[in-house]
């Protein structure tokens, strides 16, 4: 039998579920947003690296014109990563001599200053 003064709930935990949702839901939404932003950053970075690779491959061909590398990199960046890279730019660095191997810095010819 229950004592006369104890009716209903034992403790005062009314609103505990609401309080836990107020704490958990914003943290969960923040985690989802951070994951989405990190994914977009990684995708844009990979697109810029792929464009640089395309430019380096185009510049490496024997007898390629002087602007073949940056042109190919920009064309790839504008076609494949138009939604991820904002105003991509490319510049060629090298002597243009066919007898020398391209330097490792030629693969970094596409720079994206601003990301979406």
Query: For the chain, which residues make up each domain, given as ranges?
Result: 47-93+103-116
Q: Residue 1: what pLDDT?
A: 54
Residues facing 86 on adjacent strands = 114
- Tens digit of pLDDT at every position of the chain (116 positions): 555 555 555 667 777 788 888 889 999 999 999 999 999 999 999 999 999 999 999 988 888 888 889 999 999 988 888 888 888 888 876 555 443 444 444 434 444 444 44
pLDDT at 38: 95
Sequence-distant (≥ 6) Cβ neighbours of residue 43 within 8 angstroms: 84
């Amino acid at each position: 039998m229950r004592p006369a003064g104890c009716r209903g709930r034992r403790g005062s935990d009314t609103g505990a579920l609401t309080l836990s949702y107020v704490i958990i839901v914003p943290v969960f939404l923040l985690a989802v947003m951070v994951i989405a932003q990190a994914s977009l950053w990684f995708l844009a970075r990979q697109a810029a690296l792929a464009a640089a690779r395309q430019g380096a491959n185009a510049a490496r061909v024997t007898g390629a014109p002087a602007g073949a590398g940056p042109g190919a990199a920009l064309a790839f960046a504008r076609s494949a990563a138009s939604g991820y890279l904002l105003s991509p730019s490319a510049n060629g660095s090298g002597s243009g001599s066919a007898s020398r191997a391209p330097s490792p810095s030629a693969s970094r010819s596409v720079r994206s200053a601003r990301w979406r």
